[in-house]
Amino acid sequence: MVDALHNMWSRFGSIEWGKLVSPSVKLAEQGFPQYPSLVRAVRENYELLAKDEGSKNTYLIHDIGVGKWVKFPNLGKALKLIAEDYRNFYEGDIAESIVNYLRSKSGFIELDDFKDYKSFWGESLRIDYRGYQVLETPPNTQGVTTLHILKLLSNINLSSIKLLSSEEVKLLLKCFRAAYRIRDKYVGDPRYVTKDLLGPEVINELLAEFEGTSANVVQRRNTSLGDTTYYVVVDKEGNVVSGIQSIFYSFGSGITEPKYGITLNCRGSSFTLTRGDVNELAPRKYPLHTLSTTLVLDPKGSLKWVLGTSGGHYRPQIHVELITSLIDYGLDVQRAVELPRFLWDLSTDELIVEGGVDVVGVNEVEVRKVNYPSRLGVVAIVEFLGNVKIGASDIRGDG
């Protein structure tokens, strides 16, 4: 993440690097009031955090409660070093401290793993959907899964189907199951992806899956919601960032390097030990990554919507429900964000449904109803209407 942010800054940035990092240093050192989702996360993961010395001394030394002040001075020290030189994270004391702490936990990451790391640029994937261009992030992310679901829907007159009806639920469920089968078969580290994921061969296979999805065996993956924050930033000069950040599960691995207060992710859990699998564990390899974001261009080629969400493995489903709400059903952005959701959990093969969705006659999977608003993703959207920009925030988040 550190290298990627610097990589973005080197191409697009206009503020001096140290000045750019300084507000984060100030927040970490001087603190800020705890917000509801942080408080909830600490309370729900208290036992996990208490097991690790670094996590305990980072997160559990404060009074926990909304509005109570919290500081992360050790993280402030790390950010100061990063402000001086971003490579301090990879080749200096920060990297050494992380490696040493992981070794004390029987970890096997070495200094060279940090020193050799460089982020890379990927080209957006895009398809035409009803005259709009939908752009998604490429592998190793699951962005193509959003596009695969839309591909399946593009031949169906979705607007003739009642919104949030059981007919819509059944159709999208069928699309979800087919697209995730393709995802788990082909999406991973781009150096290991052997197929053109939007080419005729894969799309034909996707269509075949769609026609026969009822017989599919579900590949089990943990789909718990966790750490993710999605954000849209637009400046007065017209630059747009559709950004997403996560260490995967809540507090990632639950392990925090104590000297600098850096909590480590658990993205390696998306590897498999299956021989020949695109996500088979291997050195210096990237696993399937759930993070993806979406841009939509109108039929004239102008930016229309920038959108994204938290939600882990559910993300492509939420993206599709948002895009179809906007394009097929003509909802405004705030209504699209607040619309009740229904999501297929590929780890349990059940449908999770917020109140307000009709599931009468949905017998293909078990249905689990949750209260509205749930925590099934926290969405943000910016819509562009000429010189006017409209932002929509999710009731499921902190507001």
pLDDT tens for 376-386 read: 999 999 999 98
Reported as a pLDDT band with limits 50, 70 and 90, residue 213 is: low
pLDDT of residue 219: 53
- Asked if the model's pLDDT at residue 130 lies above 60, the reply is yes
Q: Is the peptide bond before 23 cis (omega within 30 degrees of 0)?
A: no
- Asked if the model's pLDDT at residue 261 lies above 80, the reply is yes
- Asked if the model's pLDDT at residue 214 lies above 80, the reply is no
- Identify any residues that bridge with 294 across adjacent strands, giving them in sequence order: 136, 307
- Rg of the chain over Cα atoms, rounded to whole angstroms, equals 22
Reported as a pLDDT band with limits 50, 70 and 90, residue 220 is: very low
- By DSSP bridging, strand 125-129 and strand 132-136 are antiparallel
Distance CA 63, CA 45 (A): 15
What separation in angstroms does the CA of 130 have from each of 88, 118, 308? 47, 38, 20
- Asked if the model's pLDDT at residue 364 lies above 80, the reply is yes
- Asked if the model's pLDDT at residue 72 lies above 70, the reply is yes
pLDDT of residue 339: 98
Residue 366 DSSP symbol: E
Look at residue 176 and give its three-state secondary structure. Answer: helix
Report whether 342 contacts 359 (CB < 8 A).
yes
- Asked if the model's pLDDT at residue 322 lies above 70, the reply is yes
- Asked if the model's pLDDT at residue 212 lies above 90, the reply is no
Look at residue 336 and give its three-state secondary structure. Answer: helix
- Asked if the model's pLDDT at residue 227 lies above 90, the reply is no
Mean pLDDT of the chain: 94
Distance CA 381, CA 75 (A): 30
What separation in angstroms does the CA of 1 have from each of 60, 254, 313? 25, 18, 20
Query: Which residue, 375, 391, 373, is CA-closest to 383?
Result: 391
pLDDT of residue 348: 92
Residue 212 DSSP symbol: T
Q: For 197-211, write each residue's pLDDT tens digit.
A: 999 999 999 999 999
